[in-house]
Structures are given as structure tokens and as C-alpha cells.
Amino acid sequence: MAQILPTTGYLLGLVLETLIYGMYIVLFILSMYFLVGDGGRKRRDTGMSNSMLLITSGNILLFVTISAEWIIITIRSFAGFIDHGNEPDGPLLYFSSLIDGTTAAAMSLGVVETVVANFVMVYRLWIVWERKWLIVALPACTLLGTLISGVVFVYRLQELIPSENFFESPCAPWVASCMTSSAVYVSIDASEEVHSTLTWN
């Protein structure tokens, strides 16, 4: 199987991320309308204002970090294709190097996004289960594991040498643990527990 060049992967990633970011903006506006606009008026009258404030703050923090990450990736794309476009293999070498500050900044924002999104999921689970700590103990531990492995991943990313392969580096197990614990347990299990509670009650 032919290997995908970093330039091709980066350009494809930018196009897909821009499309998904556009959909996210629409969803963000709709969720903010339902959280603080006319849709949230009923919840404010029932005494859920503190819960809505935390969820709204998480929503805004997610929007800021996702927007900042998209801006950094767009700037990095212009730098790679335009600033290094005239050099022989300039874009290829630029996108192959993961040790510059923009990559670390984008990865750090990605970790923050993951932790904030998972925190909101765990918080929703805690609220739906009527503030029972036992039900959120395992998702909270997984959230803490995601935070720790994400921080170590960004730290290890900064220690890469230019010729080192990212997927064979010390970063690989931390990426796997961060993404697995995040995607598998917190997102899927917490969503299922919230859904089942709302469905059966």
C-alpha cells in the first residue's frame, strides 16, 4: 500500500477540519440559543441556572479552543505551502517536522478540547443521576487519566528530534491512552448512561 505524504495528509486534514468546523459553528449557535436564549428561559425558572452556567461556560471554552486550533492549523498550512513552496521539498519537510511551536500549540488545544468536552459529559452524568458521586467515579478517573496522558503526550511531542518518526516515538503510547480513554469510556459510556436514565425515568 502506498504511503500518504505528509503534504497530502495535511491538506486533506485541513479541508475536512474546515468542513467540520463550519458544521460546529452552526451547532454552537443553536446550542447557545437553547442554553441562554428563549430555549433556556424555562430551565432558568426551575432553579437549574448554576448547572446551565457551567455547561454554557464549557460550551464557550470549547468554541474558543476549537477556533484557536483551526486558526493555528490554517496558519501552519499557509506557512507550509506558501512560505516553503519554492524550496525543494519545502512543504514536505515543513509538514514532516512536528517540533515547531504551532504543532505543540495545536496539540495542546486538542487536549484541552478533549478534557473540557469530557468534563461536560461527566458533569451532565452527575446532574442526571441526581448528584450521585458513585456513578461518576469511574468516568471521573478516566477523565483524569485523559488529562494526564494528554499533558505527557504534548511534553513528549516537544522532545522529538527532527528525524524521529512520530508513530514509533515515545509519544505513541500516550496518544493511544489519551484517545482510547477519552473516546471509549467517557464519551460512549457517559452518553449511554445519560440516555438510559432519561429514557427509563
Q: Structure pTM?
A: 0.80
Q: Hey, what's the cell of 43?
A: 430551565
pLDDT in tens, 129-152: 888 888 888 888 888 888 888 888
CA pair distance 150, 156, nearest whole angstrom: 10
CA pair distance 136, 129, nearest whole angstrom: 9
Q: Give the dihedral sign, CA 108/53/117/153.
A: positive
Short-list 115, 109, 68, 76, CA closest to 94: 76
Q: How confident is the model at residue 19 (pLDDT cuts 50, 70, 90)?
A: very high
